[in-house]
A and B are shown apart, each in its own frame.
Chain A
Amino acid sequence: MSALTLLFLIAGLGLIGWLSARVRAVSFRRDSNARFSSLPSHQGTYVALWTVLPAALFIAAWSFTSPALVTNRVLTAPAAAQLPPKGFERAAILSEARNLASDRSFGAFHPLAETLEPEYEAAQSYFDWIGSAVALLLAFATGAWAYTRVRAGFRARSRIERVVMLLLLAASLIAILTTVGIVASLLFESVRFFRIVPIGDFLFGTHWSPQVISAKDPGASLGAVPLFWGTFFIGAVIAMIVAIPFGLMSAIYLTQYAAPRVRRWMKPILEMLAGVPTVVYGYFAALTVAPAVRDLGVALGVSWASSESALAAGLVMGVMIIPFVSSMADDSIAAVPASMRDGSLAMGATSSETIRKVLLPAALPGVVGGVLLAISRAIGETMIVVMAASGVATMTLNPFASTTTVTKQIVDLLTGEAEFDSPKTLAAFALGLTLFVITLLLNIVALSVVKRYREAYE
């Protein structure tokens, strides 16, 4: 039975449960004069929930366990004896047979898969029938039990609401599950990586060339310091040199000087800078900015100006970050009490003196927090550096030279065709873990700075 038919059948059972329980509850109402806490439809929903939920939970659990059961059954078949005992080839043949069983239009690469295919199909339909039968029986049994509980004065509403609450709680637990999933998957792969490459070599090594990893000493060519430096140089130095002055001055002008009309128009326009997809910025950087920067470098007499310079990526990234800095600065300037500003103006200070000597120092923690968040954003940014930065890891202070970043390397390492056990692929997860930890720390520090400062003026 296909999954869809099964779901329809169970939903149908649920509907029948709902209708019959409702009819029964209405008859109770008519017969007695007691006061009820629940409407007839609540009683119906109670029965319907009991019909559908246990069966649905069973189907979900079954869909996770049945593939293993099917494989076990196939392995007991005589044809399976010819399978290679262990390893990659065995798994490949099995998965090919599984694909054949689900979709006959594929051709078989391995002859053994062809012979195993009927076994697979038989085992699959066998376990499908078992699963469907159990699910339907379960739906009927639990539904019938719930139906017997429906009587006058039964508080169905509070029971439904408990289910709703559980549902809400489950929804919010997904955030935790995601976080756990991120940390667990990154940690798991990174641990495998650090078993091959010593953690010290990775964190403090200064030579990065994943294309040639020597089997004897894999750590020698997987030192990530140049990547950290490139990420810091592009994201935290060059991009911030662009973003901080532009963002801060825009925020100051729009909050302190601009007419309300101008502000109403300019603020969304600046926010559009943050809404442009990063792949567009990347294309812009590679197509327009990078050649211009190289020409500038040549004109300035830089001996070796690369067309994949740190400057091109950093400049465009800085433009992308402007709205983050400006909206954080905007918020924290607006949070400074008006009395401080008025006091300064009343003493005869000009607006710019007030801003520079009173407002900015008072708003500084918020601004710093905003800048930290912007840096965290910049070092996690991927597409601009993938398209505009180079893949060669160098440690340089020359903005016209090429550098690479952590995110660029993650993309490069994972988009090639590589087996999943090589240090090259696993290195991407170690880089991801480092990136996750660094941005997490930056975010926590930034948010706590902003929060503490907010409380100080309230």
Chain B
Amino acid sequence: MSETLVPQLPTGSAEPAERAPTDWRTHSMQRRIRKRYAAERRFRLFGLAAVVMSAGFLAFLLITMLSNGIGGFTQTQLQLKIDFPRAGLTLDPQRLRGPGADFALAASGIEGATDAAATAQFGKDGYKLLSDGAWLRVREAVKRDPTLLRGVATIAVPASDAIDIAAKAQGTPEGEATVARLKAQGLLSTAFNPAFLTGADSTDPTTAGIWGALKGSLMTMLVTLLLAFPIGVLSALYLEEYAPRNRWTDLIEVSINNLAAVPSIIFGLLGLAVFLNLFNLPRSAALVGGLTLALMTMPVIVIAGRNAIKSVPPSIRDAALGIGASPVQVVFHHVLPLALPGILTGTIIGMARALGETAPLLMIGMRAFMVSAPERLTDPSTVLPVQIFLWSDQVNRGFVEKTSAAIIVLLVFLLAMNGLAIYLRNKFETRW
């Protein structure tokens, strides 16, 4: 059988000869088809691999954070035996009720008593096994049940950082040995760590918490939302509904599109130069953070808002105009309510981005070490992503799991916001 069934083109002739039909059964043709199909399968496999591996990166990231951070929510506890009558607390039991109780207990020398009890129970360096905040737990226990003061009480107190690490993961050899000894005596337990959710930053990982940073984040987000949402919606309305097409509105449009693509750190430089140096607003305050993030979020809201407004059909505007509504009434009574779900979706996505933003806030000094949650918008504060950044720099190993745990909290917030955005989009999606 000949290899080629396709005849040679006759040279010199203007008209090509008529092609004979391709014989697909020839050996070479079959081989060629197999090759092409193999290439097709390979290509498809590459595509699948790309998708699976991209999703795999995400899964790997999440699993790493989860496995590192889940320990941050729990705490290793020591069963500490305290002999209160022997501890010699200078305490009037009457003062345990009422607002002065915390202070009275702190002044009574309960911190020393806690350390002394640990030394009595665990030997010379026993107090080193306890967290710096262990006496706070004893104080809470006494406040809850003052009868403890009459005898020997066993109270579960947080163990020190070294014990915590040794109990949860690989610790130092001596730490491991101590943990093994304590475990054998049944003195170690693991419990949920409320201080992580209610505490503020601390140099001691066993008492460090995220509430200060979380509150700072919420306050910053509030300022951002209050500024970016109205401004964003109003300018979207103007550009989409009223703006004449001229050089000025083109300029506004171009600058909004560009602002959406400006690196976020540039907004930090703007905040530093304008809000801090020009207007003398307080450094590292939630107010300035919110202002800076609002400038960053506004273009996102404008772009989302314009798309939502664009998708409201013109017939609705025409009908409203037809029965005598003015242009402003048309927009505020009819177009805006219909476009609002779309605008809200865009706003939530923009806010989620602002919530995860770190770099611009570093520029305006929101990296302060704050041991208490901020009270006012002008108080020095920090935010969750910056807290993560600060903890990630800590040499103390106990902060590794705290950092990952804070990341889990941040991701939960972001997922909730994105989930809400998707839910809103699906619920209010209208086909006109």
Residues of A within 8 A of B (CB): 157-158, 160-161, 164-165, 167-169, 171-176, 178-179, 181-182, 185-186, 188-189, 245-250, 252-254, 256-258, 266, 268-270, 272-273, 275-284, 286-288, 319, 322, 326, 350-353, 355-356, 373, 376-377, 379-383, 386-387, 407, 410-411, 414-415, 420, 428-429, 432, 435-436, 439-440, 443-444, 447
Contact = CB atoms under 8 A, between A and B. Distances in A.
Given A161-B328, A414-B272, A443-B261, A270 B51 contact: yes
Given A175-B255, A269-B55, A275-B414, A280 B65 contact: yes
Contact of A283 (B58, B299, B392): B392
B17 to A, nearest CB: 21
B362 A411 contact: yes
Contact of B266 (A245, A270, A282, A436): A436
Contacts of A257: 44, 47-48
7 contacts: A169-B238, A272-B418, A278-B359, A373-B261, A387-B389, A429-B273, A435-B263
Interface string B384-428: 011011001000000010011001001100100010001000000
B313 interface: no
A380 B239 contact: no
Contacts of B385: 277, 279, 383
B34 to A, nearest CB: 12
B46 interface: yes
Interface in B254-298: 255-259, 261-267, 269-270, 272-274, 277, 295, 298
Nearest to A373: B261
A217 B56 CA distance: 51
A250 B51 contact: yes
Contacts of A429: 269, 273
B61 interface: yes
Interface stretch (B5-13, B106-114, B137-145, B229-237): B229-237
B183 interface: no
A182 B243 CA distance: 25
B261 A273 contact: no
A181 B274 contact: yes
Interface string B27-43: 00000000011011011
A410 B51 contact: no
B251 interface: yes
Contact of A382 (B252, B263, B411, B418): B263
A164 B328 contact: yes
A35 to B, nearest CB: 11
A283 B400 CA distance: 10
A171 B231 contact: yes
B389 A282 contact: yes
A382 B359 CA distance: 6
B64 interface: yes
Contacts of B49: 249
A256 to B, nearest CB: 8
A277 B358 contact: yes
A383 B363 CA distance: 12
A182 B385 CA distance: 24
Contact of A174 (B53, B235, B243, B272): B235
Given A164-B328, A182-B266, A447 B358 contact: no
A351 B257 CA distance: 36
Nearest to A349: B36
B409 to A, nearest CB: 11
A185 B238 contact: no
B208 interface: no
Contacts of A278: 356, 358-359
Contacts of B411: 276, 280
Interface string B146-187: 000000000000000000000000000000000000000000
A350 B422 contact: no
